[in-house]
């Protein structure tokens, strides 16, 4: 067994410091429990190096030095080969630690240990060779690990030939390579976790954005529905009085030529009195639907009040309004709607420059139609055909 000398202090310091780094970095950053199995053997390196700080240079220290440079590598190679469960790994290492302490505290076994030194070196070397071959065939092999395994063999050779310089250099190189290997593994692990976190964050942002867009769409839809409900007469589906008069104001402001048709349902009061208000509401709905199908998509129908309706025909002349009015009479006559309408017409700008003037003239035409026997159209303005 190699005698413990002052030069071995360098080996002990290197082993202690570098094994501590190997144990610390992954423990701080890894959640992968399987990788801890490769770290466990270096707890022996750390403990043996720590023990050597307090032992005098005796045969006992030489035995600890031998254990420090063989047992951790022996089990490191075994764990690479058989990949045992982490609980089994911890149990085996705990047993070896207890056994080593027992042997170290029993001087009677020093001679036996000295005789078995070469066998321990050979067994460790064989295990490392097998681990090197198996590890080299894996897909994720690392050059750091391959060189480290090779240098572990060099440590066993150095112990066999009892070269202090070779031991010192090879131990420092092995632990330095292992530090680089575990550092790289830790960096790769953190890179993967960061990428996963960024992916989760991106998915979360997309989900939030989708939810925000969905909510914005719902708000816009609700706003549109509220705006529509504020413009639409709930019974007939036509524009309400405020909405239809606002459209006329806009057309006047933009100086567009247009005509308006004002009509009401003949004898509507008798329908309500004789058949009931539900029947009257049904007539209003049927007339509104029929008229909406009798005008162009960009024309507008509004309920002006009670049974009175107002139609706006943009970019039209008197003859166009008379044509639409006649179409409404014909379709009512040929429909199942049991009513007729009286109609009055006004033309902008010939019959007035304000909404009041236009509606007033159309209203005069409507009452003239009533006086002429209802179910007809009248125009009392300035335009001539």
Q: Say what angle helices 277-292 and 268-275 make with each other, to 10 degrees.
A: 140
Cα torsion angle, 264, 269, 275, 276, sign? positive
Both tokens of residue 143?
């050059």
Res 72: pLDDT = 87
Which residue would you say has higher pLDDT here, 382 or 1?
382
Q: What is the token pair recorded at 360?
A: 């007033």
Instruction: Tell me the Cα Rg of the chain.
Output: 50
State mean pLDDT over 267-280.
Answer: 91
Q: Are 238 and 232 in contact (CB under 8 A)?
A: yes
The reported pLDDT for the residue numbered 181 is 84
How does residue 171 score in pLDDT terms, banded at 50, 70 and 90? confident
What tens digit of pLDDT does each residue of 285-298 get? 999 999 999 999 99
What pLDDT band is residue 28 in, cutting at 50, 70 and 90?
A: low
* Separation of alpha carbons 52 and 242, rounded Å: 98
Question: What confidence tier does 62 reach under pLDDT thresholds 50, 70, 90?
Answer: confident
Q: What tokens were used for 330?
A: 């014909």
Give the whole-number percent of the chain exceeding pLDDT 70.
87
Q: How far apart are the first and last CA of the chain?
A: 130
Within 162-315, where are the H helices?
164-231, 241-253, 268-275, 277-292
pTM over 0.75, yes/no: no
Q: Is the pLDDT of residue 307 over 90?
A: yes
162 versus 170: the higher-pLDDT residue is 170
pLDDT for 102 equals 66
- Residue corresponding to tokens 């609700």: 222
C-alpha dist (Å) from residue 40 to 23, 185, 251, 313: 8, 16, 87, 90
Would you state the pLDDT for residue 1? 45
Residue ranges of E strands in the chain: 258-265, 300-305, 308-314, 341-348, 377-379
Mean pLDDT on 69-73? 86
For the chain, percent of residues with pLDDT exceeding 90:
34
How buried is residue 108: exposed, middle or buried, by Cβ count under 10 Å (0-12/13-18/19+)? Answer: exposed
* Cα 63 to Cα 230: distance, rounded to the nearest angstrom: 96
Question: How far from the centroid of its chain's Cα atoms is residue 127's Cα?
Answer: 49
Least confident span in 34-38, 227-231, 233-237, 358-362: 34-38
The model's confidence at residue 11, banded by pLDDT at 50, 70 and 90, is confident
Residue 345's pLDDT is 97
- In the chain, CATH 3.30.70.270 covers 241-379
pLDDT of residue 44: 82
CB of 313 within 8 A of CB of 258?
A: yes
Region 92-113: mean pLDDT is 66
Q: What is the pLDDT of residue 65?
A: 83
* Token code pair at residue 307: 């049974």
Looking at residue 84, what DSSP letter applies? -
Given a cut of 50, whether residue 51 has pLDDT beyond it is yes
Architecture per CATH, domain 241-379, reads as 2-Layer Sandwich (3.30)
Report yes or no: 128 and 72 within 8 Å, Cβ to Cβ.
no
Residue 88 has pLDDT above 70, yes or no: no
Interval 118-139: pLDDT, tens: 788 888 888 888 888 888 887 7
Q: If pLDDT is split at 50, 70 and 90, which confidence band does 67 have?
A: confident
What is the average pLDDT across 107-114? 62
CA 374 to chain centre: 67
pLDDT (mean) for 33-59: 78
Provide the pLDDT for residue 187.
81
Average pLDDT, the chain: 84
pLDDT reported for residue 144: 83
Q: Phi and psi dihedrals of 131, rounded to 5?
A: -65, -40
pLDDT of 193: 82
pLDDT, tens only, 212-241: 888 887 887 777 677 766 789 989 999 999
User: What token pair was written down for 259?
Assistant: 């005509």
Q: How far apart are CA 171 and CA 147, in angstroms?
A: 12
């Amino acid at each position: 067994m190699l005698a413990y000398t002052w030069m071995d202090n360098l080996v002990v310091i290197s082993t202690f410091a570098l094994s501590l780094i190997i144990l610390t970095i992954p423990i701080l950053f890894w959640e992968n429990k399987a990788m801890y199995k490769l770290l466990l053997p270096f707890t022996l390196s750390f403990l043996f190096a720590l023990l050597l700080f307090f032992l005098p240079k005796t045969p006992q220290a030489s035995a600890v030095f031998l254990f420090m440079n063989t047992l951790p590598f022996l089990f490191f190679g075994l764990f690479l080969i058989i990949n045992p469960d982490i609980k089994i790994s911890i149990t085996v290492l705990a047993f070896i630690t207890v056994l080593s302490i027992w042997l170290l505290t029993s001087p009677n076994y020093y001679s036996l240990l000295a005789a078995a030194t070469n066998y321990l070196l050979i067994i460790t070397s064989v295990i490392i060779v097998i681990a090197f071959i198996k590890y080299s065939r894996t897909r994720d092999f690392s050059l750091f690990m391959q060189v480290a395994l090779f240098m572990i063999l060099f440590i066993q050779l150095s112990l066999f030939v009892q070269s202090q310089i070779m031991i010192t250099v090879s131990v420092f190189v092995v632990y330095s390579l292992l530090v680089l290997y575990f550092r790289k593994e830790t960096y790769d692990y953190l890179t993967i976790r960061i990428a996963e976190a960024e992916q989760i964050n991106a998915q979360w942002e997309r989900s939030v954005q989708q939810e925000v867009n969905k909510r914005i769409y719902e708000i816009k839809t609700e706003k549109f529905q509220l705006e529509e409900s504020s413009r639409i007469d709930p019974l007939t589906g036509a524009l309400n009085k405020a909405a239809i008069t606002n459209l006329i104001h806009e057309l006047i402001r933009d100086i567009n030529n247009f005509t308006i048709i004002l009509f009401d349902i003949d004898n509507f009061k008798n329908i309500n009195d004789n058949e009931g208000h539900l029947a009257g509401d049904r007539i209003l709905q049927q007339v509104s639907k029929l008229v909406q199908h009798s005008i162009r998509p960009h024309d507008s129908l509004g309920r002006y009040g009670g049974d009175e309706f107002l139609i706006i025909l943009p970019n039209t002349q008197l003859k166009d309004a008379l044509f639409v009015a006649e179409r409404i009479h014909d379709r009512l006559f040929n429909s199942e709607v049991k009513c007729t309408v009286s109609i009055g017409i006004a033309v902008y700008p010939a019959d007035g420059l304000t909404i009041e003037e236009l509606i007033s003239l159309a209203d005069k035409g409507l009452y003239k139609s009533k006086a002429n026997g209802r179910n007809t159209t009248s125009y009392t303005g300035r335009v001539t055909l």
